[in-house]
Each structure stands twice: as structure tokens, then as C-alpha cells.
């Protein structure tokens, strides 16, 4: 008698379990599929905050067959505060000039001193812009087919680099609270690991649901539990 129902021999592929062992054919095929169909390669630009499978980005200790699948910076909108402050600082000498012309002089300096001060002032403002920009630029988190790396860089003197293998990740969650975060679609992504470094936090990550789905897919968890 022929079988009415034959269960297909489905095997869930979990690349996280393959890290210490050589990749089996099926598992490597799954990773290839993730790389090529779901993540078409794209070249990043200076203001990229969320990129799947970015091109032209390399990191220290990257293994030969290791590919960056997801690249995250804080959402570009989080720079709004310092950009506004910079614009005010850039316009301040103009306002001061108008005040001196119409409001009366308070202090007089020789012209060369004023010019020097102005040049120095603008150099400070441009440095302020640059430092804030690189603080945002180097605050990176990325997910490769082998591990998750979180680089916290703030205030030029604080640097914290943490990495964990995908096999050690236990759970991924996100918090998106507030009108601004909802409107601009960014939030905090938390990656819980079994290691001593218990929590990875991708602060103000753009498209947090997308990021969570991608990490879940990589660690072999179903996507539908959000």
C-alpha cells in the first residue's frame, strides 16, 4: 500500500553550530544563499548607517572565508543635536559682527588679532564637527557569517571592542520606544550571549526589526516570535 503522507526529511540549518567544525555542504549552501540572494552586495558611502552585505569594508582579524553580512551604525538622525550646535557656532561670528555694527563696540582689537581669532575659532568649530562625526562613524556593529562584533567608540578616549561567535548567541531582542524613534524607524538591538560578555547593545540602530530578523536567521531561530 502506498504511503499517503511521507514526512520530508527536513533539517534546520544552523550555521551557529558549525563554527568549531568544518562546514557541511548543506550548511555552507545555506550561508551562500544568505550571502547572495538575501544580501546583494552594495558599496557603502560616508553616511551609511545600515547595510546588508557591504562591499569594501574589512576588519582586523577577519578570516579568509568570513563575510560581513550586516553593518550597523547609529541612525543618522541621532547626529541632529551636534549638527544644530555646529550650525549655530558657524553663524555666531556673523551675529557678533552684526551686533558690533548695530549695537555698538564693546572691545577693540587690532585687525590682525581679530582675523587670527576668527581663523582659530573656525578651526575649532571644524574640529568639533570632525570629532563628532568620527565618533558616530567609528561606533560600529557588524554581523559576519562567523561572529558579531560591537565597537563602541566615544569621546576619543573611550574604546570598547567586543565580539562573540554566532554559536554563543542565545537571544536577540529590540526596544523601540518614543515617537522620534518610531517615526525615523530606529531602536536598540540587544544580543544576549552565553559568554561572560552577556549583552551586546546596538544603540539606535536603523531598521531594528530587520537587524533582529537577520541575526535570528543566522543563529537558526524562527523569525516569527517578535
Query: What is the binding site for another protein (CB under 8 A)?
Result: 43-46, 56-60, 104-110, 112-113, 116-117, 119-120, 123-124, 126-127, 130-131, 134, 137-138, 140, 151, 153, 156, 159, 161
CB of 167 to another protein, least distance (A): 23
> CA–CA separation, 82 vs 132, rounded Å?
7
Cα–Cα dist 220/198, whole Å:
19
Which whole-number Å values give the CA distances from 175 to 198, 201, 205, 206, in the listed order?
A: 17, 10, 10, 12
∠ CA 62-142-168, rounded to 5°: 80
In whole angstroms, give the CA distance from residue 145 to residue 34.
Answer: 9
- Rank residues 181 and 200 by Cβ distance to another protein and give the closer one: 200
Nearer to another protein, 88 or 124 (CB): 124
Q: Which is nearer to another protein, 5 or 58 (CB)?
A: 58
Q: Give the nearest distance from C-beta 138 to another protein in angstroms.
A: 5
The H or E element containing residue 201 is strand 199-206
- For residue 219, the minimal CB distance to another protein (Å) is 23
Measured from the CB atom, the residue of 59 and 190 that comes closer to another protein is: 59
Closer to another protein by CB, 116 or 197: give it.
116
To another protein, the closest distance from the beta carbon of 44 in angstroms equals: 6
Q: How far is CA 216 from each of CA 18, 34, 126, 185, 190, rounded to the nearest angstrom?
A: 16, 12, 41, 19, 12
As measured in angstroms, the least distance from the Cβ of 161 to another protein is 7
The closest alpha carbon to 85, from 125, 49, 119, belongs to 125
CB of 106 to another protein, least distance (A): 6
Residue among 56, 44, 47, 51 nearest 69 (CA): 51
The residue written with cell numbers 570598547 in the block is 160
Closest CB to another protein among residues 99, 126 = 126
Amino acid at each position: 500500500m502506498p504511503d499517503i503522507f511521507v514526512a520530508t526529511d527536513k533539517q534546520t540549518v544552523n550555521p551557529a553550530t558549525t563554527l568549531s567544525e568544518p562546514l557541511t555542504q548543506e550548511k555552507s549552501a545555506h550561508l551562500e544563499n544568505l550571502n547572495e540572494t538575501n544580501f546583494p552586495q552594495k558599496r557603502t558611502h560616508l553616511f551609511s548607517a545600515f547595510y546588508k552585505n557591504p562591499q569594501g569594508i574589512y576588519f582586523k582579524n577577519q578570516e579568509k572565508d568570513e563575510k560581513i553580512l550586516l553593518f550597523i551604525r547609529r541612525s543618522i538622525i541621532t547626529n541632529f543635536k551636534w549638527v544644530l550646535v555646529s550650525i549655530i557656532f558657524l553663524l555666531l561670528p556673523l551675529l557678533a559682527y552684526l551686533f558690533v555694527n548695530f549695537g555698538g563696540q564693546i572691545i577693540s582689537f587690532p585687525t590682525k588679532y581679530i582675523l587670527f581669532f576668527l581663523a582659530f575659532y573656525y578651526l575649532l568649530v571644524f574640529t568639533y564637527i570632525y570629532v563628532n562625526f568620527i565618533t558616530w562613524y567609528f561606533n560600529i556593529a557588524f554581523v559576519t557569517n562567523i561572529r558579531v562584533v560591537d565597537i563602541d567608540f566615544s569621546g576619543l578616549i573611550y574604546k570598547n571592542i567586543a565580539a562573540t561567535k554566532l554559536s554563543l548567541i542565545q537571544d536577540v531582542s529590540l526596544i523601540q520606544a518614543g515617537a522620534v524613534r518610531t517615526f525615523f524607524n530606529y531602536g536598540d538591538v540587544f544580543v544576549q550571549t552565553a559568554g561572560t560578555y552577556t549583552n551586546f547593545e546596538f544603540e539606535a540602530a536603523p531598521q531594528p526589526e530587520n537587524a533582529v530578523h537577520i541575526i535570528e536567521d543566522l543563529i537558526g531561530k524562527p523569525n516569527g516570535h517578535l
